[in-house]
A and B are shown apart, each in its own frame.
Chain A
Amino acid sequence: MKLLFIQSKPPHGSVNAQEGLDAVLMGSAFSDCSLLFTGEGVLQLIKSQDPADLGTKDFAKAFGALRDYGVTNICVDAASLERYQLSVKDLAIEVEALASAEAARLIASHDKVLNF
């Protein structure tokens, strides 16, 4: 069973991104999981973020642990990166940037998709 988790919420202002990441880590204990960042979700990956002044938890540290949890297929929507004038070099972890058609193929290649 291949599960795809899609993260589309910005990192700060709510715990949505953090709770989405929690779900991916839990999913990895049961199944083959992949991760796709799209829309505002790509902002979660910008490196060297420091939420200390916000008084919120630096949950993004856990992105670095994804591979240890067996989540190795980590992708971003290239058009979303472009919208925020980002490249994969600006991101905290190694990811594969996908064109829209490739992202569609990624979604189609999984049995279930969980949106966050």
Chain B
Amino acid sequence: MKFAIVVHGAPYSSEGCLSALRFTEAALAGGHEIVRVFFYHDGVYAANALAEPPQDEVDIVAGWQRLHTEQDVELIACIASCLRRGIIDQTEAERYEKPANNIAAGFLISGLGQLIDAAINADRIMTFGA
């Protein structure tokens, strides 16, 4: 089965983000396909390269990055949600004259059309709320 995953919850503030990560890992382990993971609302905080949780806690950002590097899972963060919350890549940093970028490797910033496209092309869309 083809799943689209939508993440609304911020890591460490909401269980949704970690549940989404665990679900995605389990779906892949079960032989399913992940069309895309779309981070929306506070979910875009999962794309913050500057997060550094204590060593004895789960590293949620690294968990998503591992899925991207090892299993080629597409990680897309909504551009409007990102810009509101200060998650930006180099292109946006230059466009808005910000002093730095902080998008974690493996994540791409893109538009809401990617959410609709994922919903249309997946068999099931799973939303993990805030």
A interface residues with partner B (beta carbon < 8 Å)? 1, 3, 15-16, 19, 22-23, 26-27, 29-31, 112-116
Tell me the residues in window 26-74 of chain B with beta carbons closer than 8 Å to chain A beta carbons: 40-41
Give A3 to B115 CA distance when docked, in angstroms: 12
Given A16-B130, A115-B127, A115-B129, the answer on whether A1 and B120 have CB atoms closer than 8 Å is: yes
Q: Are A31 and B116 in touch, CB under 8 angstroms? A: yes
CB closest chain-B residue, reference A26: B112
Give A16 to B41 CA distance when docked, in angstroms: 7
CB closest chain-A residue, reference B115: A23
Q: Are A22 and B41 in touch, CB under 8 angstroms? A: no
Give A114 to B122 CA distance when docked, in angstroms: 12
Q: Are A26 and B116 in touch, CB under 8 angstroms? A: yes
Q: Are B113 and A22 in touch, CB under 8 angstroms? A: no
Q: Enumerate chain B residues within 8 angstroms of A19, measured Cβ to Cβ.
A: 40-41, 78, 80-81
State how many angstroms separate the Cβ of A111 from the closest Cβ of chain B.
Answer: 8
B interface residues with partner A (beta carbon < 8 Å)? 6, 8, 40-41, 78, 80-81, 84, 111-113, 115-117, 119-120, 122, 124-125, 127, 129-130
How many contacts A-B (CB < 8 Å)? 50
State how many angstroms separate the Cβ of A13 from the closest Cβ of chain B.
Answer: 12
Give A115 to B118 CA distance when docked, in angstroms: 14
State how many angstroms separate the Cβ of A59 from the closest Cβ of chain B.
Answer: 12
Given contacts A19-B80, A115-B127, 6 further A-B contacts (CB under 8 A): A22-B80, A29-B113, A31-B119, A112-B120, A112-B125, A113-B125
State how many angstroms separate the Cβ of A21 from the closest Cβ of chain B.
Answer: 11
Give A31 to B130 CA distance when docked, in angstroms: 26
Q: Are A23 and B112 in touch, CB under 8 angstroms? A: yes
Interface centre among B6, B119, B127 (most CB of A within 10 A): B119
CB closest chain-B residue, reference A25: B112
Q: Name A15's contact: one of B84, B120, B124 (CB within 8 Å).
A: B84
20 residue pairs of the A-B complex, CB under 8 angstroms, read A3-B116, A16-B8, A16-B41, A16-B130, A19-B80, A19-B81, A22-B112, A23-B116, A26-B111, A26-B113, A26-B115, A30-B120, A31-B119, A112-B119, A112-B120, A112-B125, A114-B115, A114-B119, A114-B127, A115-B129
